[in-house]
Amino acid sequence: MRIEIGKDDKYMSAWQFVIAARSKDTTRFACQSILVQENRIVATDGKRLHVAYYDNPLDSTYTPGLYEVVKANKSTILLLKKEKDDTFFPSRWQEVIPHYQTFYPVRTGYAYPSRFVELILGLLGKHSISLVCEYLKPLSAIDGVWQVFFGDSEQPVRFVSEYNKHMKYRLEAVIMPINLQLDAIRLTTKAERRHNVA
C-alpha cells in the first residue's frame, strides 16, 4: 500500500508539517515512521512531536498503519506502508502532550517566517526557555495563529494551530526545550576529550 500526495492535495501542508518531525536517524527505527490513524497523522523524532487532527476520518486512500517516507519535497510526498511486524511507533506518544491552561497567541505569515521564530524565541526567552530554531521553521510555514503553551524551563512547549475551517483540521506540535548549561557542559567535555587525545 502506498500513499502519494501531490501539491494540489488539500492536505499537503498538513502532511508536510507532520513529516518534518520524523527522525532521520537510521538507528532510531521507531521514530522514522509516520503513524496514520483514522482521524490523525503523527510523527516524532524523540525531541519534538507533530500531529494533524482531522474532524472527519481520512478517506480510504489513507489506510491506517505505519508508513515509511520514500520521498518528501514541496510538490510530492510518497509513503509506503510498512509490514505489521516490521517496526513500531512510540506507543505512549500522547503522554508527552502537556496540558497547560494559559497560552499566548502568536501569528505567522508566509512573507516573514523568520519574524515568527524571533517572536517565539523572545517570548520563551523571557521565561528562560530555549528551543532549537530549526524546530520552529515548520510552524512558521503555516499561515495563521498558533497558541503557545508552556510551563517551566524543563517542560515541553506546546503549539496548537488555529482550526482550519476549510480543510477541517488543526495542527499541534510539542517541542522539548534545550538545556543551555547542560549543552555547554557537553561541548566542553567533548573539546577536552579531543585535547587529551591530541
Q: Is residue 194 in a domain?
A: no
Q: Domain count for the chain, please give it.
A: 2
pLDDT above 50: residue 55:
yes
pLDDT bin (cut points 50, 70, 90) of residue 187 is: very low
Q: Is residue 91 in a domain?
A: no
pLDDT digits (tens, 9 = 90+) for 107-132: 987 667 788 999 999 999 999 999 99
| Domain final position from 53, 83, 113 | 83
Q: Do residues 106 and 169 share a domain? A: yes
Between residues 62 and 105, which one has the greater pLDDT?
105
> For residue 14, what are the domain limits?
2-83
Q: Do residues 118 and 175 share a domain? A: yes
Q: Is residue 193 in a domain?
A: no
Q: What is the pLDDT of residue 186?
A: 47
Q: Do residues 158 and 109 share a domain? A: yes
Q: Is residue 142 in a domain?
A: yes
pLDDT digits (tens, 9 = 90+) for 158-180: 999 988 787 788 999 999 999 76
Instruction: State the pTM of this model.
Output: 0.85
Q: Distances in Å between the alpha carbon of 61 and those of 37, 58, 64, 65, 145?
A: 12, 8, 9, 12, 30
Q: Is residue 78 in a domain?
A: yes
Nearest alpha-carbon partner for 177 in 141, 148, 140:
148
